[in-house]
Structure 1
């Protein structure tokens, strides 16, 4: 067996209540060192011996991700937490203790950064029908006319996308001004969003819990007055702002 590391916190007195346990149902426990506590469980060494191969197994990856995020979310409900990346494993608990010592200052900086704050996501999408030729338009009688119409539709579509991207920049700036920190991730593909519309903003924002109401009101106002569809997600454990710990 080897040790799977989910998250690091401070002042953790017991493991979170996760009915299904950790990855592969492993029992959770705490490993303490240098004033920090790591939430860990045992996993089978062979199962994690070749992670590159396992990453091609979508069912395995999904099961690990569900268990991992379930544990991290449970810890983060009541404590500041530095979440680790999916499938972070070490040979044993002693190696985890060494990591807590060696990366103590980095973990402490992350915990200070996220304490009392949540991550929120703001996603913006083109409105349905934008950047598409009118479905009700009559087909031109000649091939040349059809090509001209298609080129014109593409120009109009490109202009609409450019306008939406400029609006996304303005939305990002407005939300970032309310946040403590912000990250702008690449827009997700339609296969990941499950929506037919193109995403033009995929922002993450670290927001004081006391400002949650203000954030919701801001996004509602931006959605009401803007020309893109907005989606507010969260609150989340601040994965986007936990970098640099290991």
Structure 2
């Protein structure tokens, strides 16, 4: 079967070379396809895996999906180190270069506007997790001597939990406000489900911040500086990433007529 064109991202032309060891999905090194002052970063993938029907089956295979997502992200990370990419969704695939160019033509104005807005900026992620164990008493409570003692101890435990969650939410609110003052834009995401994310504790802040690349070090230092302020909380900083949360492409993420398949990341 013939190969299909896999599109990782859209960006402006750039001179810097990508890391030599970077390979993309299915092991193919990424290439460039130019169109009207834009570059599509593309690769070739086998039709037997990425045509519509086999792709739908693959997306239910968590091992395959995870490996494909890692390869996709490796290309985006390499691009982020040298330019400002607009990442497309995982498994955005077209039958040929003509289909890719048709998509770029259709969305040209949107791509240029977004690249102007995000040029020289990166995304940082900040999560705060509150550990439920922190609300437990240092010593095990004495065995209740009566029903009244049991109810009293239960009220105390419930109060300790409520106070801990309230404190965690206040800290998250203060930190978010501080980080917003030091970022150009911010997005609050839905709290992560600990069962799905496999992170311990309750997620009380899940946010992304748009920061000029030149100010990234100072932003990271700001977050690192508050990590020890609350012993019951775990503050996690990730990035710098391509500005996924600020690209604003979701509403305009329908591919052109030449598209074979597109799956949300």
TM value normalised by structure 1: 0.88
CA spacing shift, 1:171–1:208, aligned 2, 3 Å? same
When residues 195 and 15 of structure 1 are mapped into structure 2, their CA distance, relative to the original with a 3 A threshold, is same
1:112 maps to which residue?
Answer: 116
Alignment length (residue pairs): 246
Hey, what's the Cα distance between the residues in 1 that align with 2:76 and 2:38?
Answer: 15
Which residue number corresponds to residue 60 of structure 1? 64
Q: 1:87-130 deviations in whole A, cap 9, x for unaligned?
A: 11122211110111111111112212221111111121225633
Report how far residue 237 of structure 1 moved. Answer: 1.7
1:51-87 Cα deviation digits (max 9, x unpaired): 4432221110011011100111111211111111111
Rounded Cα–Cα distance in structure 1 between residues aligned with 2:209 and 2:49: 35
Q: Aligned match of 2:81 in 77, 80, 98? A: 77
Match of 2:27 among 25, 28, 31: 25
| Deviating more after overlay: 104-113 vs 94-103 | 104-113
TM, length-normalised to structure 2 = 0.82
Question: Where does structure 2 lack aligned partners over 5 or more consecutive residues?
Answer: 254-265
1: CA distance, partners of 2:107 / 2:238: 31
Alignment RMSD, CA only? 2.4
Structure-2 separation of matches of 1:15 and 1:95: 26
Matched with 1:34 is 36
Please state whether the residue corresponding to 2:43 is helix, strand or coil: strand
2:171 counterpart residue number: 167
> Deviation per CA, 1:189-240, whole angstroms, max 9, x where unpaired?
3345544222211111111122223313422343344463322222112211
Matched residues in 2 for 1:135 and 1:36: separation? Answer: 63
Residue 162 of structure 1: how far off its partner (Å): 2.4
- Measured after TM superposition, the shift of residue 160 of structure 1 is 1.6
Structure with more relative contact order (C-alpha pairs < 8 Å, separation 6 or more): 2
* Residue 233 (str. 1) matches residue 238 (str. 2): yes
- State the match for 2:188 in structure 1: 184
Tell whether the 8 Å contact from 1:82 to 1:242 is kept in structure 2 after alignment.
Answer: yes
Give the SS at the match of 2:5: strand
Conserved 8 A contact 2:132-2:202: no
Check the 8 A contact 2:4/2:45 in 1, yes or no. yes
Tell me, what secondary structure is at the counterpart of 1:158?
Answer: helix
Distance in 2, matches of 1:13 and 1:192, equals: 40
